Amino acid sequence: MAPVAANVYEVIDLTNPARKPDWLKVRLAHGENYERLKRDVKALDLHTVCQEAMCPNIGECWGAGTATIMILGDTCTRGCHFCNVKTGSPRGEVDWLEPKRVAEAVRDLGWSYLVLTAVDRDDLADGGAAIFASTVRMIHKLSPDAKVECLTGDFAGDLAALDVVLDARPEVLAHNLETVRRLQSTVRDRRATFVQSLGVLDHAKRSGKVRYTKTSLMLGLGESELEVGEAMDAARAVGVDIFTMGQYLQPTKRHLPVVEYVTPEKFERLRRAGVARGFRQVVSSPLSRSSYHAEQAFA
């Protein structure tokens, strides 16, 4: 983010300091509660996607008792062309104390809705499913009223690994399509496909072990509205309940460039198109991210 006025920050892609549209300006998170949470998160040695991705909604979400925690380390075995997470081999390393540490943080910080996400761990036989499951169970044990959303990878199509997560009974199973069908190979790692991702969402819904399933698209990569509509239709066909859309921003020069800054009016038009298709919740705006307003699905 770059400062443009007192307490107002502009969400930018780091490769181009040129001024972005007015709708990509947000107020800097502040306030006593936010500052306290920031200190506590640092002391607990947690990796929040909220902070590391400089999410523009951090103040609003933390104020609502919602946060996104990344587990299973900081090194991803995939190399998607939109993501700035480090790529490499974690060599099978797993912190088995992490579930307890995350659950204690949820309890102590009073979070009522936690999104658990992770890097892809193709180096592990179960893709990290056991850590996901252990973390969900520990959170439910220490904070019985808290709701947990698992935003997982595709587990390389291993539905038995996915079942390990589902058996822990998170309230929401989320897996992102990321982009429309035509752009999959351009945007995502070659090991991720549109069909495989739909299979994850379909299996989760059919299991009956989660209350809702959820997916998300980044816009501004060259997709058409027709293609976004087709992605919505594919998601609804496998029973997806929650659909979110937000603006893609290029993190570094080696990542995909932004093709279009999608206007708020277009995001609203697409939101209405999603609602008309029967999704329980559609979140669609330039600053929306996959976990934005996640807790409102239970309102």
- Give me the residue spans of the domains in the chain: 2-298
What local confidence, expressed as pLDDT, does residue 296 receive?
A: 78
Q: 23-58 pLDDT, tens per residue?
A: 887 666 666 666 666 676 666 666 666 555 456 656
**Whole-angstrom Cα distance, residue 20 to residue 254?**
20
The answer to whether 152 and 175 are in contact (CB under 8 A) is yes
33 CA to centre of own chain: 23
**Whole-angstrom Cα distance, residue 18 to residue 192?**
33
Q: 59-71 pLDDT, tens per residue?
A: 666 556 677 888 9
The answer to whether 247 and 261 are in contact (CB under 8 A) is yes
pTM: 0.88
Q: 182-217 pLDDT, tens per residue?
A: 999 999 999 999 999 999 999 999 999 999 999 999
When the pLDDT of each residue in the chain is averaged and rounded to a whole number, the result is 87
Widest CA span in the chain:
51
Q: 217-236 pLDDT, tens per residue?
A: 999 999 999 999 999 999 99
Q: 91-134 pLDDT, tens per residue?
A: 999 999 999 999 999 999 888 999 999 999 999 999 999 999 99
Residues 6+ apart with CB under 8 A from 77: 87, 88, 89, 90, 119, 120, 121, 122, 123
What local confidence, expressed as pLDDT, does residue 61 receive?
A: 64
**Whole-angstrom Cα distance, residue 157 to residue 195?**
10
What local confidence, expressed as pLDDT, does residue 74 receive?
A: 85
Categorize the per-residue pLDDT at 239 as very low, low, confident or very high, splitting at 50, 70 and 90: very high
Q: 267-280 pLDDT, tens per residue?
A: 999 999 999 999 99
Q: What is 2-298's CATH number?
A: 3.20.20
β-bridge pairing 2-5 and 25-27: unpaired
Q: Is the pLDDT of residue 7 over 80?
A: no
Q: Is the pLDDT of residue 87 over 70?
A: yes
